[in-house]
Amino acid sequence: MVTPRSRSGRSRRCRRLLSLFYLDWSSPRCADDCASAAATAGRDVAIGGAAAKSSLGLAAAAFVASLSSFQFGYATGILNVPQRIITTDLGLDKDSISWAVVVSIWALGGLLGAQVAAVVADSRGRRPLLALSGLTCGTSGLVAFCAGTASLAAGPESVGGRSALCLLVLSRFISGGGCGMATVAAPLYLGEIATTETRGALGSLAQLSVVVAIVVAQGLAALITHHLGLHWRLVLGLPAFIGAAQLALLPLLPETPRYLLSRGLAQGGEARGEAREALRLLRPRGGQASEAVEAELAALEQELGAGAGGGGRRGVLLLWRDSPSLRLPLLNAAAMMVGQQLSGINAVFYYSTTFFSSAGLDSPVAGTLLASAVNPLGSISAVGIGGMFLSSVGVTAALIGKARASAHHEDDWSLNWLSVSFVLCFVIAFELGPGPIPWQIGAEIFPEHARAAAMSAAAALNWVCNAAVGLGFPAMSSALGSLVFLPFAAVLLLWLLFTARFTPETRGRSVDEIQVEFRRLAALGSRKPARAEGDGVPLSSIRQPQG
């Protein structure tokens, strides 16, 4: 590896920037160099050796915030395993439109929750938004428990059975509202409390919480409803306890320093003291901690002051109209969300038990649990959209082979397991990039005045596509048969091409630097020179990501 010291021709400023990657963070000289580099480049990083140590306050805040993502993942996976039992209790066919409504109404609630999130995040703060998300998800658990109780008290065709169905639909809608807020709140909060160096790790924490929750949800559902023979209301009611834990742990969550400073600027007040106190709770103590906090605070003020010309917080349509420099970032956020949902991943999470049953698996629940078990593995590695594309093509080929074998009245078990294997690869590839990145990239590419509105609009688009997949996949599966994954493969190919052309690397870069890179990519696309006015960061100063 080439170190900054071996680059004798580099300027002192370049050496200081590179020191953020290569120097010994525990040394006093590193602390001085990093502080000087941040002051020069105006970066929002934690400075010095103290920032390299772990912070109990940051870890606690990240854990509590990630419970919102856990609620989202739990709600995503909870209906898959007990689907047959619930539909039998409610007198529904597993492929009926009524069951599709139970599944997809959650996404419509999420659409509403994502819109509420932008208003609450900007007017009240990130911390109250997390609290409201936990309260809403907890309420949905209570309603779901009541739905299960009503189904016990009456038969499926009785008034009580219909009441149980209505309560279940209501609980899913309320859950969607809470999860819609969570999809904005958790990535936004984690992104704003993180340093540049920990931003990727904390962003991945939200997605890791989602995939772990899916495993927990489906594992508990299999244990309680299939193995122990207990009623499904127990697993559907669990979000009530998680929501109560979120509210009980709320004192561990300070408001984000970035929001406190931006609110002070917007209202003409002095919020530096509150922001300093929040930073002290989130950063390590002792040593040079005070100097590091002051340096980070100054860098935040500089960045927020430079972005104050954005005209305040506006809706996404006004941002598109009035801020040409934000159009490509907005397109990236939209492409990420559409690609994620129309990739077909939720067809697996919602209907994998039915899919594995039709694929000829003797134990479709075991196939679903296996798909959930491999889900977290991708969160600790890195591949992505290309892997999902190849896996979807593989699933299609295996299903076509199985259809031909069935036409000749043959049963080839190898084709059954081949299709299952490709589905598992599809799920793993999803977690290698397409899963976490769309949720965390909004906190990285948008300036403060546009962040909440842009992330809320992107989340709303995600929920619309989520609802389309949840409602439409049963009909799509019936119509296309063995070709059901082919449309997903086409979406993945388009997403891959767009990402390769228009999505910059964000690791280790500030918002200002990422904005300059977006302007460069937009200029390449339009064959016009990039405009550097007002960005405050010349193209030559952009730090290239290190391998």
Region 256-275 average pLDDT: 77
Q: What is the pLDDT of residues 173-193, one digit of tens each?
A: 999 999 999 988 998 899 889
- Burial classification of residue 470, based on how many CB atoms lie within 10 Å of its CB (0-12 exposed, 13-18 middle, 19 or more buried): buried
Report whether CATH 1.20.1250.20 matches the domain 323-523: yes
Please tell me whether the overall predicted TM-score, pTM, comes out greater than 0.75 for this model.
no
How many angstroms separate the CA atoms of 417 and 265, rounded?
A: 59
State the pLDDT confidence band at 15, using cuts at 50, 70 and 90: very low
- The predicted pLDDT at position 110 comes to 92
| Residues constituting the chain | 547
Q: How many percent of the chain have pLDDT more than 70?
A: 74
Nearest-angstrom CA–CA distance, 1 and 56:
32
Q: Average per-residue pLDDT in the chain? A: 76
pLDDT band at 146 (very low <50, low <70, confident <90, very high): very high
pLDDT surpassing 80 at residue 304: no
Burial class (CB in 10 A: 0-12, 13-18, 19+), 11: exposed
Nearest alpha-carbon partner for 114 in 517, 545, 463: 463
**Tens digits of residue pLDDT in 29-75:** 333 333 333 333 333 333 333 343 457 888 899 999 999 999 999 99
Q: Which has the higher per-residue pLDDT, 203 or 101?
A: 101
Instruction: List b or e across 302-332, with b for residues whose CB sees 16 or more CB atoms inside 10 angstroms.
Output: bbbebbeebeebbebeebbeebebbebbbbb
Domain ranges of the chain: 55-253, 323-523
Residue 456's pLDDT is what?
83
Instruction: Name which residue leads in pLDDT, 511 or 498.
Output: 498
Residue 158 is predicted with a pLDDT of 60
Q: Which CATH class is domain 55-253?
A: mainly alpha
Per residue in 438-466, pLDDT tens?
877 777 788 777 887 888 888 888 888 88
- Condensed to tens digits (0 to 9), the pLDDT of residues 476-497 reads 888 888 788 889 889 989 988 8
Q: What is the pLDDT of residue 413?
A: 65
How would residue 287 be classed by pLDDT, with cut points 50, 70 and 90?
low
Print the SS3 string covering 28-49. Answer: HHHHHHHHHHHHHHCCCCCCCH
- Upper half-sphere CA count for residue 527 (Cβ side, 13 Å): 0
Which uninterrupted H or E stretch holds 76?
Answer: helix 56-77
In the predicted structure, residue 274 carries a pLDDT above the cut 70: yes
Which amino acid type is present at position 92? L
* Interval 234-262 mean pLDDT: 92
Would you call 12 helix, strand, or coil by DSSP?
A: helix
Does residue 77 carry a pLDDT above 50?
yes
Q: What is the pLDDT of residue 120?
A: 92
Examine domains 55-253 and 323-523 and report if their fold is the same: yes
Task: Say which residue the tokens 């296309």 belong to.
Answer: 480
Q: Give residues with Cβ within 8 angstroms of 456, minimum separation 6.
A: 114, 115, 117, 118, 121, 184, 316
